[in-house]
């Protein structure tokens, strides 16, 4: 799997995390260690450390290693690593595409596109996942047959706040508890990780894209998905954020949007596309009118 930017250039990323995860998931001792690492109390301990002042020393080495341009962010005296991890971006550094028919990326991430076929399964890496398993709601899953599934994979170097993709209203969040496994694609060779991870999804009644499911998926060592208590929202409003760790957002749409060609072409090769929050990734089909 490779990652490309919107100009078709390959994005070179640090692969040390991938090598560690492959070792962890592919060997017996590693899988035994995972049984410990994914226990809720271990996640809680890890989260407590990341919120403590002891973790401050990790911030500067992390910035240097991942080449993070702090000119994009509001720089302050971070009290902990998690304080840094949930940092705010400066106004104007992420431009929200304002055209009403343009679909935007909800987060800085690596994006993969899938068409939702009649068997209600989506392919993530080399494994198949049922929408019914993902949502634990059979009737809701059926509504998106023939539609689009977008998977936005966030890694630790990404901005971990995410936004709404359109104007609209939101129903109550549905939280599904699970086991904390990493969302890195390498893990998918060994575990159906999206089915096992804790996740929270919202049904969004959007103004221009009909009913949209937006799901946040927690990862190993991520103790919390933080969604704001919002009922009415506008395009680009912050929906929430992830605390420490790599995480994923899944967006389900009906057959109402044409995704940009570069994203489709990259996904057809099992490659990902690097996108930024607010960036245009598709456009509403001209023949589609919102159902009443």
For residue 70, what pLDDT is reported? 92
Identify whether 55 is a catalytic site residue: no
**Rounded to an integer, what distance in angstroms lies between the CA atom of residue 110 and that of residue 3?**
7
The CATH number of domain 102-284, selected from 2.70.70, 1.10.3470, 3.30.1490, 2.60.120:
2.70.70
Active-site position among 109, 198, 202, 247: 247
How far are the Cα atoms of 5, 41, 56, 73, 238 from residue 251, in angstroms, in the given order? 20, 30, 34, 26, 16
Tens-digit pLDDT profile for residues 21-61: 667 667 777 777 777 776 767 777 877 888 899 999 999 99
Tens-digit pLDDT profile for residues 237-254: 999 999 876 688 999 999
Active-site position among 108, 158, 166, 173: 108
Residues 6+ apart with CB under 8 A from 52: 80
Tens-digit pLDDT profile for residues 133-192: 888 899 999 999 999 999 999 888 899 999 999 999 999 999 987 665 666 666 666 665
**Rounded to an integer, what distance in angstroms lies between the CA atom of residue 114 and that of residue 97?**
23
Identify whether 130 is a catalytic site residue: no
Instruction: Please name the residue that has the structure tokens 């044409």.
Output: 258
**Rounded to an integer, what distance in angstroms lies between the CA atom of residue 136 and that of residue 10?**
36
**Rounded to an integer, what distance in angstroms lies between the CA atom of residue 124 and that of residue 117?**
14
């Amino acid at each position: 799997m490779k990652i490309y930017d919107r100009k078709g250039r390959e994005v070179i990323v640090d692969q040390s995390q991938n090598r560690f995860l492959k070792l962890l998931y592919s060997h017996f001792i590693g899988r035994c260690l995972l049984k410990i690492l994914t226990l809720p109390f271990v996640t809680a301990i890890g989260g407590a450390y990341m919120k403590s002042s002891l973790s401050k020393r990790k911030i500067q080495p992390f910035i240097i290693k991942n080449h993070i341009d702090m000119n994009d962010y509001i720089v302050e005296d971070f009290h902990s690593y998690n304080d840094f991890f949930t940092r705010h971006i400066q106004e104007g550094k992420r431009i929200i595409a304002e055209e009403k028919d343009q679909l935007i990326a909800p987060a800085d991430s690596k994006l993969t596109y899938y068409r939702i076929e009649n068997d209600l399964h989506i392919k993530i890496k080399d494994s198949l996942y049922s929408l019914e398993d993902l949502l634990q709601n059979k009737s809701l899953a059926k509504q998106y047959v023939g539609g689009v599934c977008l998977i936005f994979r966030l890694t630790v170097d990404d901005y971990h706040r995410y936004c709404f993709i359109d104007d609209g209203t939101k129903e109550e969040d549905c939280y599904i508890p699970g086991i904390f496994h990493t969302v890195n694609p390498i893990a998918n060779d060994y575990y159906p990780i999206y089915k096992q991870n804790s996740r929270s999804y919202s049904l969004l009644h959007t103004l221009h894209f009909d009913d949209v499911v937006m799901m946040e998926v927690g990862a190993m060592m991520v103790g919390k998905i933080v969604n704001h208590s919002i009922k009415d929202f506008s395009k680009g409003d912050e929906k929430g954020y992830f605390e420490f760790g790599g995480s994923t957002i899944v967006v389900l749409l009906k057959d109402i949007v044409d995704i940009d060609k570069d994203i489709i072409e990259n996904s057809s090769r099992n490659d990902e596309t690097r996108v930024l929050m607010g960036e245009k990734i598709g456009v509403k089909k001209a023949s589609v009118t919102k159902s009443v």
